[in-house]
Amino acid sequence: MKDSKYNIAIFFLIVIFIALIVVGTMRDKKNYASRKVNKSVQIINKNKQSSKKDDKEINKNNKEPENLYLYEKINNKKEITMLSIGDDMANSSSVEEKDKWHNNIKKYIEDTYKIKVDTKVIWKEKSKIDEALDNYKKAETKNYDLIFITLGEYNIGYEPTEKLASRYEELIKEIIKNNSKSDLYLIVQSSIRLDKNYPEAIIKIANHYNLNIVDMRKAFKNSNENYITLTTDEILPNKKGYNLYTKEIIKSLEKNIKSQKVIKYEEKQVLYKTK
């Protein structure tokens, strides 16, 4: 009898032990499955975050060309448009097509950055600022990325600096209004050697609107060349003179490309008011 009770007790203990093992195994499997699910969820969430980040980068790089600023376009190898506005020097008058500074800027950008550059020149012989402003308003509705303004030589001595600066600023504001993602380069002509007030006004306007100044007076002086050897008639540059224009503009342009200059125009108070 005692042996029978003992055997029954042993049997129940074995059953309980087996039951505990089964329950423990099931619990371990459940915990493992739960951990696996949690890990999978974490991986999925991580992948989603990574995917969102990648999508942002892709969207940033795949913005429509018209929504990109000049230096973003160059960085993303998108076609750009270039405009030169002004007088004879804006068109590199006195030299052949292959020696014109705006053509050499185009060639430099295309060769260096492997992008297409579409160019246009709005110019008039001995153009004054008023004429350039009127011609721009009449002729241009298209947007441009890179804009050069070369004016002043044929105004100086005929009108007060304040009036010239006022009309120049009006031209700048008109261009910015139509080209909010472009960058402007204001060229102080090499021939303006005696008048200091007009160049100072142009530099002041450039600083006010966060534009670029290319001071060709300094470039000619720093070249250590005799001024007359850089011109055809002591006003218009010759081939050697226009080469200096090209080099000086490229220097300024490269600085902005490397720093990825941010173009953001804000409403500014007018510096020069027409009296």
Distance of CA 25 to the CA centre of its chain: 64
Residues 37 and 170 in one domain: no
Query: Per-residue pLDDT for 248 more than 80?
Result: yes
Which pLDDT band, with edges at 50, 70 and 90, does 199 fall under? very high
Tell me if 267 is assigned to some domain: no
CA distance 117 to 46: 42
Residue 274 tokens read as 């027409």
pLDDT of res. 15? 63
Query: Per-residue pLDDT for 20 more than 90?
Result: no
Quote the radius of gyration of the chain (alpha carbons, Å).
Answer: 35
Total number of domains constituting the chain: 2
Strand partners for 187: 150, 214
Span 99-134, pLDDT tens digits: 999 999 999 999 999 999 999 999 999 999 999 999
**Burial grade of 138 (CB within 10 A; 0-12, 13-18, 19 or more):** exposed
Range of the domain at 175: 66-259
**Burial grade of 135 (CB within 10 A; 0-12, 13-18, 19 or more):** middle
Span 141-194, pLDDT tens digits: 789 999 999 999 999 878 899 999 999 999 999 999 999 999 999 999 999 999
* Helix-strand-coil split of the chain, %, nearest 5: 60, 10, 30
Residue with the two structure tokens 């230096």: 71
Residues 157 and 237 in one domain: yes
pTM: 0.77
CA distance 18 to 242: 97
Tell me if 178 is assigned to some domain: yes
| CATH number where 167 lies | 3.40.50.1110
Terminal Cα-to-Cα distance of the chain (whole angstroms): 128
Strand partners for 120: 83
Tell me if 268 is assigned to some domain: no
Residues 53 and 82 in one domain: no
Tell me if 273 is assigned to some domain: no
Residues 9 and 128 in one domain: no
Residues 227 and 243 in one domain: yes
Residue 214 tokens read as 């290319």
